[in-house]
Amino acid sequence: MEPRIKREAPSITTDLRSDTVQVPSVIRNCSGIRIFGKRIKSLIFTTDIAIILNNDADAVIAVYPFTPHPAVIQSIANVSTIPILSGVGGGTTQGKRSANISLFSEAQGSLAVVVNAPTPIETIKQIEETVDIPIVCTIVTEYMDIQARLDAGVDILNVSGGKDTAYIVSRIRENFPDVPIIATGGPTDETILDAINAGANAISWTPPSNGELFRRKMDKYRNKERERYMQEHQGMTIEEVEDLEDHRD
């Protein structure tokens, strides 16, 4: 039997879509999590509509530090071409309201709902009784009671422990070898790999801000204009050209 040849997937894009935000390729080293048949390895952590429309992640994790609102979920659902994991509260917003927002999220096509770290067990149970999509629970420290949350209906853990993320993932993996884990990857390939090696199945990644992306594009335009000018003036900068003209005068 001949060995199977692994082929690179063909890539197709256009000039107008060449500036998409690309998640770090190292994330492809994780196993991924299959949710309703969709394999999710990379999740982009943003609610910026423009970035959500222009990225190559497998899914978007739409969690934000305000009271969850149906208008936000609907706006993201209207533009996203990738699955959405929608934040439904759990801190200030709890109980019936979180359950209702979860139901709305499901109706808008969300692949899963995400509850914050302080979410009471009773709220998780209410959401579990209300929707058919998975519940993702955010874990911020190794001291949280994982078993109680799983028993209440949590399906996936979302570890966001800052510099301790990989350590928390490893602790969870020791006691819960089969539970699906999303983890924040941090700022570098090394921190992403640390989370993966600790046992994370998928990685959430925070993209550059809209302002940072604009700064990069403006720098590119400035350099391009400078190069064009120098090509038209035999490699001279504008200061050199002005100095030469002054001498001619």
Per DSSP, the residues of the chain read: -PPPPP-PPP----GGGTT-B---GGGGGS--EEETTEEE-EEEE---HHHHHSB--SEEEE--SS---HHHHHHHHHH-SS-EEEE--SSSS-HHHHHHHHHHHHHTT-SEEEE-TT--HHHHHHHHHH-SS-EEEEE-STTS-HHHHHHHT--EEEE--GGGHHHHHHHHHHH-TTS-EEEE--SSHHHHHHHHHHT-SEEEEPPPPHHHHHHHHHHHHHHHHHHHHHHHTTT--HHHHHHHHHHH-
Does 162 lie in the same domain as 74? yes
Does 171 lie in the same domain as 139? yes
pLDDT tens column, 200-216: 999 999 999 888 888 98
- Torsion angle, alpha carbons of 100, 101, 106, 111, to 10: -140
Give the total number of structural domains in the chain.
2
Does 133 lie in the same domain as 236? no
Does 104 lie in the same domain as 217? no
Is 180 inside a domain boundary?
A: yes
pLDDT tens column, 172-200: 999 999 999 999 999 999 999 999 999 99
The pair phi, psi for residue 106, each rounded to 5°, is -60, -40
The reported pLDDT for the residue numbered 230 is 83
Residue 79 sits at the vertex; the CA angle it makes with 9 and 189, to the nearest 5 degrees, is: 50
Does 227 lie in the same domain as 147? no
Is 155 inside a domain boundary?
A: yes
The reported pLDDT for the residue numbered 2 is 65
Does 165 lie in the same domain as 42? yes
Is 7 inside a domain boundary?
A: no
Does 153 lie in the same domain as 79? yes
Does 166 lie in the same domain as 235? no
CA dist., res. 152 & res. 147, Å (int):
9
The residue range of the domain holding 240 is: 210-245
The reported pLDDT for the residue numbered 6 is 66
The reported pLDDT for the residue numbered 1 is 58
The reported pLDDT for the residue numbered 161 is 96
Residues 117 and 89 sit within 8 Å (Cβ to Cβ)? no
| Number of other residues whose CB lies within 10 A of the CB of residue 241 | 15
Does 239 lie in the same domain as 146? no
Does 241 lie in the same domain as 155? no
Does 157 lie in the same domain as 123? yes
CA dist., res. 154 & res. 115, Å (int):
9
Is 4 inside a domain boundary?
A: no
Please report, for the domain that includes residue 32, its CATH number.
Answer: 3.20.20.60
Is 181 inside a domain boundary?
A: yes
Is 162 inside a domain boundary?
A: yes
Q: What is the number of alpha carbons within 13 Å of residue 188 lying toward its C-beta?
A: 4
Does 223 lie in the same domain as 111? no
State which residues of the chain have pLDDT below 70.
Answer: 1-4, 6, 249
